[in-house]
Structure 1
Amino acid sequence: MRAAPRPVPQPLRHLVLVLGDQLDLASSAFDGFDPGHDAVWMAEVAEESTHVWSAQPRIVMFLAAMRHFAAEVRARGWALRYTHLDDEHNTGTLAGELARAVQALRPQRLILTAPGDWRVLHALRAQAKALAVPLELRDDRHFWVTVRDFAAYAKGRQSLRLEFFYREMRRRHRVLMDGDRPAGGQWNFDADNRERFDPVAGPPPVPDPLSFAPDAVTREVIALVRRRFASHPGALERFDWPLTRAQALAALDDFITHRLGDFGRWQDALWPGRPWLWHARLSAALNLKLLQPREVVAAAEAAWRAGRVPLRSAEGFIRQILGWREYVRGIYWTQMPAYAALNALGAHAPLPAFFWSGDTDLACLRDALTQTLRLGYAHHIQRLMVIGLYALLLGVEPRQISDWFLAVYVDAVEWVELPNVIGMGQFADGGRMASKPYIASGKYIERMAAGRYCAQCRYDPAARTGPRACPYTTLYWDFLLRHEALLAANPRTVMQVNNLARVDEGERRAIRAHAEALRARP
């Protein structure tokens, strides 16, 4: 039974807008909130699940987290106008629900922490203007760097690179620093964090991440999503994500205590049927703002300084939060909206239909896709170097694969997903974000999974043509042939291009023909 809401004050001074990825009671939108004169607005709308064909776990993640947050708002005694997805008069869009709220409540002003999605920001701005009500946009304090600060940092630089930005962030915020020098005498321990599992013994024992059984609120959402979005992909039998601030903090402590110690060592390793390994499983809680990045980084650094985890693990994890996460947000907001349409490599192949089912005979790709659809999760190497790599080598149109990534992962919000896919995964921005295309043959996947995928696959990762040729390997060599001039001009890929000198004209023709056949029937 839904609790009776507190009456909205009349006259209403401020209507504070809270979006589905802004579930933070310390948000700037609440600065100066006066329960006697202000109210909160939240809305579940179908548009946010259908503008890309969102998978069921992602839809449940957002809606259930929103409903739990709404309960916290009500517990504070604040007036809340909350539209449920199944409310009779729900217009189905954020702009439509905002119009209904403004017309009913007549606020003097709308207050909004800057959204993470360019589309949402401009829709709400346009609607506020049409309604003739002032919209006050406030900085998102969740991040270390404002969009203005990143724009100033980027101004005049011919290229942007994570490593230099990350070092500046470490210095500025005194993270993993010993005086003016980086802890341990070096900035980056990535070269130490690429170990692979023993091909026979497999991964050492590691506790599974803390899980959270769905409560009554979440079960209600699961039933709603199964009914309302029955045609959408994904499964909900194992939905166990943290959905509240308290659960997110417990998940953080669980990671720091049980898995951060070996995270660095094994962070890039793959193993069939083992989705979690040493990974944090915190990105969804961070992106919904249930966790603050400062507290996550502080917990990791404190564990290292206390001698509980090695520096290479703490640094590798912190780089993802303080470095990469801030960097991609800066790229997104300084490059949008044109960034979403970039296609520097001229890729126009359609996204294979099996991305929505996992029905492929490539063992590594099948494992990553079916895991994604079952759990709404894959770790960064599965996303970049299994799923993203296949799309890049096949030549999938970048916006199609970007929309897929946005649709299927429970942690997917556009400011972080789009640059990761368009810039890093597909090199569609021509190098604005990353210094090279992340390309590899099937041998890379064989190596990172200690051969376990290839042992159960019909394809040979060493073969580039013929009936047993691994599609990754064929498409890799075809990619080198198609983009030889571009790759030869890049110092980081020139050695890969030089390997083409060993491929005679006859085999080049065979590679191209085999690649075209793969594109025709991927």
Structure 2
Amino acid sequence: MKTIRLILGDQLNQNHSWFNTIDNDVVYLMAEMRQETDYVKHHIQKVVAFFLAMRNFKKDLSHQGHHFIYLELNDPNNLQDLEKVISMCIKENDVEKFEYQLPDEYRLDQQLLQICESLEIKSSCVDTEHFYTTRFELKDFYKGKKQMVMENFYRMMRKKHQIMMINDQPEGGKWNFDQNNRKKWTGQPAIPSEKKFNQDVLEIIQEVKKANV
């Protein structure tokens, strides 16, 4: 079954289970869209960083053998609207199924639900696999409870993932050290210097300016 899988700009997880196997019937769709640059005003560093990360992600996975449709910002085939881009790619590639990863943003979540309802082919969604929690884990945990104390959820997650735990008790004998964290910083330990990555982003900057983003 020919399948298109959508990857959004904040879903660049090479360890996602989607990429465990190379399938010639699966094509990954990525697009740099005005829909995403224009719905609110973004700092140019954020826009450039997103596009550079998306392009590097596509490049790396293509070298591994995965198949991509990638629409850059000024590509004449880029319709700059998510629903139009998806519909065009489905039609041009005789796709039988559309898949996507659950978005982290409500706006996109609702848009993708509406898009799937309008499609004439099968569709489904999967977890992004980049959070400790599943989408409804917090909601399910507090279901039926009268008090929503974050500390209780925090402790459950510590136990579930065995984070700083010895058997069923917290390492160090305490669940948190909030009192210590409220103390004034004395200058020690020293603040580490930032990590710098040298990247030539002039080409993307010129593309962003050309598009009047």
Q: Shared topology, TM-score over 0.5?
A: yes
2:172 match: secondary structure: helix
2:98 match: secondary structure: strand
The corresponding residue for 2:193 is: 208
Amino acid at match of 2:86: L
The corresponding residue for 2:9 is: 20
CA distance in structure 2 between the aligned counterparts of 1:31 and 1:90, rounded to whole angstroms: 29
The corresponding residue for 2:47 is: 59
Change (3 A) 1:17 1:121: same
- Superposition deviation, residue 150 in structure 1: 2.8
CA distance in structure 2 between the aligned counterparts of 1:229 and 1:174, rounded to whole angstroms: 49
- Superposition deviation, residue 70 in structure 1: 0.8
Amino acid at match of 1:176: M
CA distance in structure 1 between the aligned counterparts of 2:183 and 2:211, rounded to whole angstroms: 44
The corresponding residue for 2:75 is: 87
The corresponding residue for 1:129 is: 117
The corresponding residue for 2:146 is: 158
CA distance in structure 1 between the aligned counterparts of 2:159 and 2:66, rounded to whole angstroms: 40
Which whole-Å deviations, capped at 9, do the CAs of 1:21-73 have from their partners, x for residues lacking one? 11112224446551x22211111101111111112122112111101101012
Higher helix share: 1
1:72 lines up with 2:55 in the alignment: no
CA distance in structure 1 between the aligned counterparts of 2:69 and 2:103, rounded to whole angstroms: 19
Which of 98, 101, 105 is the equivalent residue of 2:86?
98
- Superposition deviation, residue 229 in structure 1: 4.6
57-66 vs 21-30, which deviates more? 21-30
Q: Would you say the 8 A contact 2:11–2:128 is kept in 1? A: no
- Superposition deviation, residue 85 in structure 1: 0.7
Amino acid at match of 1:224: E
Question: Identical aligned pairs, as a percentage?
Answer: 29
CA distance in structure 2 between the aligned counterparts of 1:115 and 1:31, rounded to whole angstroms: 21
- Superposition deviation, residue 180 in structure 1: 1.6
Higher strand share: 2
Which 4+ stretches in 1 moved above 4 angstroms?
Answer: 202-205
Amino acid at match of 2:3: H
- Superposition deviation, residue 109 in structure 1: 0.7
Q: Would you say the 8 A contact 1:17–1:29 is kept in 2? A: no
1:224 match: secondary structure: helix
Which whole-Å deviations, capped at 9, do the CAs of 1:482-520 have from their partners, x for residues lacking one? xxxxxxxxxxxxxxxxxxxxxxxxxxxxxxxxxxxxxxx
The corresponding residue for 2:34 is: 46
- Superposition deviation, residue 175 in structure 1: 0.7
CA distance in structure 1 between the aligned counterparts of 2:191 and 2:138, rounded to whole angstroms: 38
Larger Rg: 1
The corresponding residue for 1:219 is: 202
CA distance in structure 2 between the aligned counterparts of 1:208 and 1:60, rounded to whole angstroms: 23
How many residues are paired up? 213
- Superposition deviation, residue 206 in structure 1: 3.3
- Superposition deviation, residue 161 in structure 1: 2.4
Amino acid at match of 2:211: R
The corresponding residue for 1:313 is: none
Which whole-Å deviations, capped at 9, do the CAs of 1:111-149 have from their partners, x for residues lacking one? 222121222122223223323121111123222222243
CA distance in structure 2 between the aligned counterparts of 1:204 and 1:176, rounded to whole angstroms: 22
Change (3 A) 1:26 1:206: closer
CA distance in structure 2 between the aligned counterparts of 1:147 and 1:96, rounded to whole angstroms: 27
The corresponding residue for 1:228 is: 211
Change (3 A) 1:229 1:204: farther
- Superposition deviation, residue 169 in structure 1: 0.6
1:185 match: secondary structure: coil
- Superposition deviation, residue 74 in structure 1: 1.3
1:135 match: secondary structure: strand
- Superposition deviation, residue 203 in structure 1: 7.3
- Structure 2, unpaired ranges of 5+: none
Amino acid at match of 2:204: V
- Superposition deviation, residue 101 in structure 1: 0.8
Normalised by the size of structure 2, how large is the TM-score?
Answer: 0.89
CA distance in structure 1 between the aligned counterparts of 2:196 and 2:59, rounded to whole angstroms: 21
Where does 1:292-331 land on structure 2 (aligned, <5 Å)?
none
Change (3 A) 1:204 1:154: closer
Change (3 A) 1:228 1:158: farther
Amino acid at match of 2:46: R
CA distance in structure 2 between the aligned counterparts of 1:161 and 1:100, rounded to whole angstroms: 47
CA distance in structure 1 between the aligned counterparts of 2:208 and 2:152, rounded to whole angstroms: 43
CA distance in structure 2 between the aligned counterparts of 1:17 and 1:29, rounded to whole angstroms: 11
Normalised by the size of structure 1, how large is the TM-score?
Answer: 0.38
